[in-house]
């Protein structure tokens, strides 16, 4: 059974040109895993940084599990990512070049909770306008309207 996509960062695909993707595990608590499986994850504004050479997911919001008894829960806490050493080195070296950043694109919930990371370069406003124009032309063509 393939893993279920529980969250997507659709805005990231619009704001960034995705050059490469990598799948990483996430260190979560038990209640966070249950909340993720229920789809209570929001990746809007989330990003990845490197703290002491280790990747950390920041600003990803995982809501409090409905049946949890925890009282001091921070839904936007920093969560360490689990990657192989060579993948970490590769991502870190590529983010040191100007304009390249690591963005979480999707969260999959199968046997394990995984995050799909994208290596992205920011788009300029005129690139975004061009993408919007292409999208609207595609919609009109599918509907059979004149352009």
What are the pLDDT digits (tens) for 83-138?
999 999 999 999 888 888 999 999 999 889 999 999 988 877 777 788 888 888 88
DSSP β-ladder status, 41-42 and 54-58: unpaired
pLDDT classification of 13: cutoffs 50, 70, 90: confident
CA distance between the termini of the chain = 42
Q: Model-level pTM?
A: 0.81
Nearest-Å Rg of the Cα atoms of the chain is 18
Which residues, 6+ apart, have CB-to-CB distance to 114 below 8 Å?
3, 23, 24, 25, 26, 107, 108
CATH of region 4-143: 2.40.280.10
139 three-class SS: helix
Rounded CA separation 147/32 (Å):
48
Host H or E run for residue 127: helix 125-143
What are the pLDDT digits (tens) for 22-39?
999 999 988 889 999 998
């Amino acid at each position: 059974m393939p893993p279920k996509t529980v969250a997507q960062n659709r805005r990231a695909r619009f704001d960034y040109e995705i050059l490469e993707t990598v799948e990483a595990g996430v260190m979560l608590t038990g209640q966070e895993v249950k909340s993720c499986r229920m789809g209570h994850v929001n990746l809007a504004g989330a990003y990845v940084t490197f703290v002491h050479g280790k990747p950390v997911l920041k600003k990803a919001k995982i809501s409090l599990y409905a049946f949890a008894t925890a009282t001091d829960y921070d839904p936007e806490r920093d969560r360490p990512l689990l990657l192989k050493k060579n993948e970490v080195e590769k991502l870190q070296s590529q983010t040191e070049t100007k304009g390249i950043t690591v963005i979480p694109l999707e969260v999959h919930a199968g046997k394990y909770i995984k995050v799909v990371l994208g290596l992205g370069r920011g788009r300029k406003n005129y690139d975004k306008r061009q993408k919007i124009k292409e999208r609207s032309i595609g919609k009109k063509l599918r509907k059979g309207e004149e352009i």
